[in-house]
Amino acid sequence: MRKRTACCCWCLILAPASRPSARRGPLWNRTCTTSDDDMTTVHIDQRGADVDIDGDRLVVRVDGERKGTLPLNLIERLVVSGMARVTTRLMVRLADKGIGLVLDRVGRTASATPLMATRADRALRLAQYDVLLNPVARLDFSRPLVREKIDGGLRLLADIETTAAGSSRDLAEARRRMAEAAALAADAAATPSLEVLRGREGAAARAFFAAFATVFAPALDFFGRNRRPPRDPVNVCLSLGYSLAYGEALRVAARHGFDPTLGVFHDIAADRDSLACDLVEPARPHIDRFVHQMFAEAHLRPEDFSGRGEAGCTMGKAGRRAFYRAFEERCAGPVRQTIDRVAGELASGLLYRFHDRPAARLLPPRDCGQPDVDAADKDGAGEAGA
């Protein structure tokens, strides 16, 4: 099976035009070793950069000054972030060569727009479609997502219990119920379907939030999970954190070449990208831990919020400033790492399973990890339309 290296990317390093560096560093930073079988992603993140072509080379200019080039034949996906500009002639050339293009709108919740899929994504997407039609395979791929989420919640409650921040009895009981749900979820006989697995996950989540609610001050009016709209300060922060993680999951899904609308644990729905929801699940405990710390350490207080109940609760400007600053410093890293790791593991698992599936024969040999052969050696392949 073709190897896909999730961490493999080329990053453009550019000093801001207003602050020229006296010391010139490398323009293209190779972050890991690549080979012909690796997915090579170029990520450009520079405000005001113009991304164009010159012959068969990618060219980046800032304020008209040429900053760097790279041969197109080394690129399989181009990710452009921020306020960089991409020329239409480059887009046409990328499409001709089957190079993927992703526009990453930094700072937006739904931030990744895959304009063009790379040809190298065909195997992964066919693998997604194949699993989507197989309930047993979907269940197998969903179990690790649920287990990691429950395990993360168990660790958080255990850590809180050591600080005596809540009722030790409530926390211990919640951990017992969550551990029981995790064991049942891992048992194929006890959890024979995706619907039952979702029930196990739901039971663990209810146990977690029932105990989690006991560790917050009564003034916060937090009695459990609610949303649309969130009715208390804790749920406001949980919803915001989960939304930020969802945006990151969309970016990661696009960079890996997934169809983000097709999940394994979450069904297809009109109002969401189900794969992004899948990728967020194991990262939720990081956000839960962060929200607990923000209130426990008084970085956020009840007065930072207005409104309660059915009409909804909102966070004020000072609270938002504190939340976003702390999230980037303390939570964004673990969330991103978890989502990227889970996406890489899922891609590898899907492709490994797909290798021997009948649909794999629809793809060129190289897409399925087989050596290329000359077109003349293929039966009729050298004469298209014959």
Q: Indicate the annotated binding residues for Mn(2+).
A: 201, 266, 281
Smallest Cα–Cα separation from 262: which of 282, 284, 277? Answer: 277
The Cα–Cα gap between 347 and 133 comes to: 17
Give every CB contact of residue 202 below 8 A, 6+ residues apart in sequence. Answer: none
| Residues β-bridged to residue 28 | 12
What's the residue count for the chain?
A: 386
**Residue 295 neighbours by CB distance under 10 Å:** 20
The Cα–Cα gap between 95 and 119 comes to: 10
Give every CB contact of residue 293 below 8 A, 6+ residues apart in sequence. Answer: 299, 330
Q: Which residues make up each annotated binding site?
A: 201, 266, 281
Smallest Cα–Cα separation from 112: which of 4, 273, 267, 271? Answer: 273
Q: What is the DSSP letter of 142?
A: H
Contact 346, 282 (CB under 8 A): no
Smallest Cα–Cα separation from 132: which of 263, 10, 7, 227? Answer: 263
The Cα–Cα gap between 264 and 346 comes to: 10
Helix, strand, coil shares of the chain, percent, nearest 5, are: 50, 15, 35
**Burial grade of 372 (CB within 10 A; 0-12, 13-18, 19 or more):** exposed
Q: Please report which helix (H) or strand (E) contains residue 193, including its range.
A: none
Phi-psi region at 107: left, alpha or beta (left = phi > 0; alpha = psi -120 to 50)? left
Smallest Cα–Cα separation from 73: which of 50, 92, 49, 57? Answer: 57
Contact 312, 326 (CB under 8 A): no
The Cα–Cα gap between 299 and 315 comes to: 13
